[in-house]
Chains A and B, each alone.
Chain A
Amino acid sequence: MIEVMSSLLIVSGLGFYLAGSIGLLRLPDLYSRLHALTKADNLGLGLLTAGLGLYTQDLLIALKLVLIWLAVLAASAASAHLIAQHARRRETQS
């Protein structure tokens, strides 16, 4: 039962990762690509960690996984903003 649940979570996480990469390839400009990458990949990671945490059934490891996900969330939100700001600044300068 737990295996089925965690498999479902992992597979749906993968789907979001792939969607993010496809968006990276197909979307027209830097800003939309940033959106695709940050949002989709973070959600994919969240689902992946949920599935893996459920699978290991070890509370300590599951907490570590959640911590990693939160760190990635906060870090990539700030990084995406910095990258977009930098690109915007360069556009308006040149």
Chain B
Amino acid sequence: MTTSAMLILDILMVLSLLSLAAAALATSDARRSVILFMAFGLVLALAWARLQAPDVALAEAAIGAGLSGALLLAAVGDQPRRALTGDTKPVHHHDHSNLKLMLEWTVTLLCIAVAGALAWALAQAFERAPQATLAQAVSENLATSGVSNPVTAVLLNFRAYDTLLELAVLLTAVLGIFALGPARPGYRTAGPVFGGLVRWLVPVLILAAAYLLWVGAHAPGGAFQAGATLAAAGVVLRLAGQRTVGLPQGPTLHLVIAAGVGTFLLVGLSLLVLGRPFLGYPPAWAGGLILLIETAAMLAIAATLVLAFLGGRPQPPRVNVTGGKPPAALISTLRPRSREGLSGADVPGAESHKHFSEENRQC
């Protein structure tokens, strides 16, 4: 009874994932497909949990659903609106140049080839007898790693180089973000309901991040999940119209971002100086060193993700409103694009509002 129930549960989960993915790809409206993609991420987190991978489920719930969804929505928001036709049939382009068509077909064939290769690799893995060599090696050496969660041990001790390089990749991403220029314009200040939500959600998210960081030593959790949760707090602050979103200003921000890779390197080099291999923690200190590195990594990851959401270098608050801006932008400065429509002051501006609001948020 139990096993057959679980089997049907697995089948339904796979069906949900497939239908969400198909719906996200089949629609022609970018905003609609982003929302379906967010839903896909949430259900994927459930799938990871079903597969008994809580660390991945935590990361998927935090990053795949909340953060990348917010990122994509902010990015899509810049695109010109399509008129909503109400159907989800894919748009057929009849006016492609031959080059673009060839390119599309090449990419499609490449994707099919990669999918085929992955399927072949999966079949190979199933054919062999299950070999628990990696899991065995990890569990044998877990006692000397300084933590009792095998995932954290692998990430921060046995395969520490990989994590170091991943953090370096994040640092490079921040450099790219800074190169984009100033951050996107912000959001209007939160109304009473959203403000009430933010007032308790942000502290709870910060607390949850600290909890995940601490618990990562002996249970599923760790720096990445904690960093993503902390970034979600920053994203919520930004959505509520808060300007600084908890990021430090100026040189301190650079320090925080660099501290992820920096702490890792410092620890590794100090160990080299002390005569041990690079990032070869002495077993007595391993736990403390790992916690130190994870804390710095959490802050760096959170700052990186929030900067990605901001879309550029954060701006210090501007003092004066006027000063060389075209009149159109000036008028819309006084009146945000969309508003609750409650206050009487909005009525005289209704025409200019309709004139300037070219957005139809359809999803």
Which residues in A have some Cβ–Cβ distance to B below 8 Å? 71, 74-75, 78-79, 81-82, 85-86, 89-90, 92-94
Contact call A90/B201, Cβ cutoff below 8 A: no
Contact call A90/B361, Cβ cutoff below 8 A: yes
Scan residues 170-204 of chain B and give those whose CB is less than 8 A from a CB of chain A. Answer: 191, 193-194, 196-197, 200-201, 204
B residues near A85, Cβ cutoff 8 Å: 191, 193, 340
Contact call B341/A82, Cβ cutoff below 8 A: no
Q: Please, how many residues of chain B have a CB less than 8 angstroms from a CB on the other chain?
A: 17
A residues near B339, Cβ cutoff 8 Å: 89
Contact call B194/A78, Cβ cutoff below 8 A: yes
> Which chain B residue lies CB-closest to A81?
B193
Smallest Cβ distance from A41 to chain B, in angstroms? Answer: 14
Scan residues 29-86 of chain B and give those whose CB is less than 8 A from a CB of chain A. Answer: none
> Which chain B residue lies CB-closest to A94?
B360
Contact call B193/A75, Cβ cutoff below 8 A: no
Majority DSSP secondary structure for residues of A touching B:
helix
Contact call B204/A93, Cβ cutoff below 8 A: no
B residues near A89, Cβ cutoff 8 Å: 338-341
Sample of 14 A–B contacts (CB below 8 Å): A78-B193, A78-B194, A78-B197, A79-B197, A82-B193, A85-B191, A85-B193, A86-B361, A89-B338, A89-B339, A89-B341, A92-B341, A93-B354, A94-B360
CA distance A71 to B201 in the complex (A): 9
CA distance A90 to B357 in the complex (A): 12
CA distance A85 to B204 in the complex (A): 25
Smallest Cβ distance from A65 to chain B, in angstroms? Answer: 16
A residues near B193, Cβ cutoff 8 Å: 78, 81-82, 85
The 8 A CB mask of B346-363 against A (1 = contact, 0 = none) is 000000001001001110
B residues near A94, Cβ cutoff 8 Å: 360
CA distance A86 to B341 in the complex (A): 11
Contact call A74/B197, Cβ cutoff below 8 A: yes
Among B201, B341, B357, contact of A75 (Cβ-Cβ < 8 Å): B201
B residues near A90, Cβ cutoff 8 Å: 360-362
Smallest Cβ distance from B66 to chain A, in angstroms? Answer: 12
CA distance A44 to B116 in the complex (A): 43
Top 3 nearest A-B pairs by Cβ distance?
Answer: A78-B197, A81-B193, A78-B193
Smallest Cβ distance from A43 to chain B, in angstroms? Answer: 20
Instruction: Beyond A78-B193, A85-B193, A93-B360, list 19 extra A-B contacts (CB 8 Å).
Output: A74-B197, A74-B200, A75-B197, A75-B201, A78-B196, A78-B197, A79-B197, A81-B193, A82-B193, A82-B194, A85-B340, A89-B338, A89-B339, A89-B341, A90-B361, A92-B341, A93-B338, A93-B354, A94-B360
